[in-house]
C-alpha cells in the first residue's frame, strides 16, 4: 500500500525527468559538451548535473572538466543545446498525465522546477501538461533554487497550504533535498537508479497502481 497520506492538501511536481521525458534532451546536450572537452559522459557524469539548475550544472561541469572560471560559459552552451533539443519535442512520462489529472481532481497542484521558465514552459506544453497547472514555479523566479527549499515553500504558499500537508514528487537527489528541507512528504521515481535516496514513497514509475489508488483516495483523511 502507498505510504503517502491521503489527507494531503496539495501536490507539487518536479518536471524534468519526472513528468516529462526531458532528461534525454539534457543528456544529449551534456554528452556533446563533455565530448568537446575529450571526456565521456555516463552515469557518473550524469549524477554530477542531474536536477541542478543550468548555472549549477555549468559550474559542476567546469570543475569536472578542469576549467575553473568557465561555469557561466558552459551553462550558456548547455542552455542553448537543451533549447535546441527540446524544440524537437518531449513526451510525458508513463503515468504522468493520469496522476496529474487524478490529483488535480482532488487537491490543488503545482510544478516546482529547477529549469528556467523558458524550458519549463516548453517542456509542459510539449508533453500536453501545461493546461493542468495554474501554478508553476521556475528556478529563475526564486532567489535560491533547489536544493534550497524556496521553490517548494513558494508553491505551498501559492496553493494555500502548509508543507507538512503536501506531497512532492521528485526524481533527483537535488530535488529531494529541496522538498525535504521545505517539510513536504516526498515521493520519488528516480531518473538514475539509486537505492539510497531519501523518500516516503519510492517507485519505478508514476504509472504504478498504488499511486493511482492513492490519488483517487485523496481527501479521505486516512493514511494507507
Phi-psi region of 181 (alpha: psi -120 to 50; beta: other; left: phi over 0): alpha
Task: Quote the strand ranges of the chain, DSSP E.
Answer: 10-13, 109-112, 136-137, 166-170, 185-188, 201-202
14 is catalytic: yes
Q: How many residues does the chain have?
A: 224
140 is catalytic: no
Q: Is 35 exposed, middle or buried (0-12, 13-18, 19+ CB in 10 A)?
A: exposed
Q: Which residue has the cell 561555469?
A: 71
Taking alpha carbons only, the member of 173, 219, 220, 218 closest to residue 199 is 173
Active-site annotation, residues = 14, 16
Amino acid at each position: 500500500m502507498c505510504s503517502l497520506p491521503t489527507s494531503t492538501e496539495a501536490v507539487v511536481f518536479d518536471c524534468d525527468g519526472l513528468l516529462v521525458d526531458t532528461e534525454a534532451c539534457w543528456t544529449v546536450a551534456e554528452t556533446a559538451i563533455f565530448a568537446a572537452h575529450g571526456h565521456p559522459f555516463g552515469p557518473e557524469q550524469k549524477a554530477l548535473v542531474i536536477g541542478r539548475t543550468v548555472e549549477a550544472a555549468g559550474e559542476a561541469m567546469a570543475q569536472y572538466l578542469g576549467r575553473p572560471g568557465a561555469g557561466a560559459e558552459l551553462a550558456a552552451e548547455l542552455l542553448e543545446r537543451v533549447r535546441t533539443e527540446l524544440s524537437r519535442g518531449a513526451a510525458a512520462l508513463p503515468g504522468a498525465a493520469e496522476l496529474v489529472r487524478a490529483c488535480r481532481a482532488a487537491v490543488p497542484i503545482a510544478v516546482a522546477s529547477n529549469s528556467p521558465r523558458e524550458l519549463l514552459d516548453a517542456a509542459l506544453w510539449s508533453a500536453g501538461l501545461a493546461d493542468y497547472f495554474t501554478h508553476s514555479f521556475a528556478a529563475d523566479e526564486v532567489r535560491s533554487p533547489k536544493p534550497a527549499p524556496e521553490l517548494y515553500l513558494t508553491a505551498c504558499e501559492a496553493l494555500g497550504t502548509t508543507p507538512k500537508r503536501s506531497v512532492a514528487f521528485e526524481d533527483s537527489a537535488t530535488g529531494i533535498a529541496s522538498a525535504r528541507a521545505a517539510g513536504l512528504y516526498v515521493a520519488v521515481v528516480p531518473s538514475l537508479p539509486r537505492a539510497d535516496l531519501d523518500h516516503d514513497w519510492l517507485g519505478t514509475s508514476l504509472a504504478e497502481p498504488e499511486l493511482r489508488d492513492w490519488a483517487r483516495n485523496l481527501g479521505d483523511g486516512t493514511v494507507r
